[in-house]
Chain A
Amino acid sequence: MRVSDLRLVLGLVVSLGLVACTSSALPEPTQAVCPDPDPGTLTWDSFGQKFMADYCTACHDSSLSHAQRNGAPLYHDYNTLTGVLEIPDHIDEYAGAGPASENTEMPPSRCPTVMGGPLNRDCPKPTTAERTNLAVWIACEVKRPH
């Protein structure tokens, strides 16, 4: 075991490690806060349902089979308020905008024209204002009685 060998191996590993550390950004919580008192302006009926229909439920719908979901995970279904409230943090971290982050991982680049259909069009994208409203609505909705 020679010192030069040890240095060579350690140098290689450290160098590769540094290269490895140069990328990656995980979805982050937006840290959006519901105003106190809750103004009640952003609700499932007034905002959430339309947002989900416009941008999400072509793939994230509980009526879709495995093969129709275009990669959407099972149990990530947003066609009902109950479904949204199953994983509110996940939605916030992938599509919401707030003080801490603006998450644009979802919607993806390609979407189906019809629910469960082939990916044959560019996905419509929410505006920053819509993403901000999404995060605030979720922050409020999780505190409301259901």
Chain B
Amino acid sequence: MRGLHRQEVAAGRALGSPRSIVATLAVMCAPLSSGIARAEHDMAAMSAHHAHEGSELSAGVAVEAAQFDTMAYVGSYQGITPSIGWMRGRFGAGATLGLYHLNKNGLSLYGIGDAMFTGHATVWATETVQTGLALHLMAPTGSELDGLGMGHVMATPSAWASWRRDRLSLWASAGYSWALTGGAGQHNHGPSPLVDPMNMQEVTWSAGGDLDVAHGIRVGAHAQGGIPTGVGSDRVIGAGRVAWGTPRVSTAFELQLGLAGDPFTIRGVVETALRF
């Protein structure tokens, strides 16, 4: 769920231009867990070629590694997250499922995380400004007991907006996550480093910017987090990113720091996406 808003933000930003379809597809395939999804759009948007109408598919994979030192656990994890995406016009959908190796307090285990499904639509778009809506659903495919999943369905509707001029892009998003369970509000996921959102109900947010620094290369920074509306704790993540590639194949590297709420100490993510 990490960085969930950025996917649709990127998609929306891509719309409204001749290269929109390819760009949108690019982000649809990006694993949400990586938070690098938007970089795929950035790469795609650098080229006006390959744009065409109709449905398009995409596939991607992200590899991540992180260290954490929370109130309850000390350890690390590594993950690989395949993803698929589909896009047509203003609408898109995608799915991701991560596979993880988790080491916490001396216990080493492997398993899948929670699956995520996304649907999104651009509501309004011009050459410089785009806005849209999205819905994320997380399914409890990961073991809650092992700390690989939430143990319940989590839904996150959200809204986003972006602005672009010349080489600079700015974007922001906000949503509300809540657990679809009878026990909602009775506990939170604070101690589990892989689970995000960590709170049973929270306002999620993200904001960032990117800059074209050379042909096919962009750098950027962003922050994202969660504010609990019931029991729980605030969470803030800061990140820097560099992305490169072509409209069809793009790669990005992102370095993230957990600034508040113990999500992790440091996390690195490398992601590649293929659009076709």
Residue pairs across A and B with CB atoms within 8 Å: the count is 98
Interface string of B117-144 (1 = CB under 8 A from A): 1110100000000000001011111001
- Known A-B contacts A24-B140, A26-B144, A76-B72; the reply to A69 vs B105 at CB < 8 A is yes
Bitwise interface map of A from 19 to 42 toward B, beta carbon under 8 Å scored 1, else 0: 111011110100000000000000
B109 within 8 A of A: yes
Main SS of chain A's interface residues?
A: loop
A17 partner residues in chain B, CB cutoff 8 A: 117, 137, 153, 155
Select which of B72, B109, B141 is within 8 A of A74 by beta carbon.
B72
Residue of B whose beta carbon sits closest to that of A19: B139
Q: How far is the CA of A19 from the CA of B115 in the complex (A)?
A: 11
Shortest CB–CB separation between residue B130 and chain A, in angstroms?
A: 14
Does the CB pair B89–A5 fall under 8 Å?
Answer: yes
Question: With a CB–CB cut-off of 8 A, which chain A residues contact B74?
Answer: 66, 74
A24 vs B121: C-alpha distance in the bound complex, in angstroms?
29
B39 on the interface (CB 8 Å rule)? no
What sequence of 0s and 1s flags, for each residue 42-84 of chain A, a beta carbon within 8 Å of any chain B beta carbon?
A: 0000000000000000000000001111111111100000000
Contacts of B117 in A (CB 8 A): 12-13, 16-17, 20
A10 within 8 A of B: yes
Query: A26 to B105, Cβ gap below 8 A?
Result: no
Task: Given the known inter-chain contacts A20-B117, A75-B72, please indicate yes or no for A26 contacting B181, CB distance below 8 A.
Answer: yes
Q: Give chain A's interface residue range (CB within 8 Å of chain B).
A: 20 to 34
Give the most central of A13, A19, A70, A72: most B CB within 10 Å. Answer: A13
How many angstroms between the C-alpha atoms of A10 and B73 in the bound complex? 39
**Cβ of B92 < 8 Å from any Cβ of A?**
yes
Q: Measured between C-beta atoms, what is the minimum distance from A18 to chain B in Å?
A: 10
B137 and A20 contact, CB distance less than 8 A: yes
Chain A residues near B115: list those with CB within 8 A: 20
B145 at the interface (CB under 8 A from A): yes
Q: List 11 A-B contacts (CB under 8 A).
A: A5-B88, A9-B121, A16-B117, A16-B137, A21-B139, A23-B139, A66-B105, A66-B106, A69-B107, A74-B72, A105-B145
Residue ranges of A at the interface with B (Cβ–Cβ < 8 Å)? 1-2, 5-6, 8-10, 12-13, 16-17, 19-21, 23-26, 28, 66-76, 105, 108, 119
5 closest pairs, A vs B, by CB? A71-B107, A20-B139, A73-B72, A13-B119, A16-B117
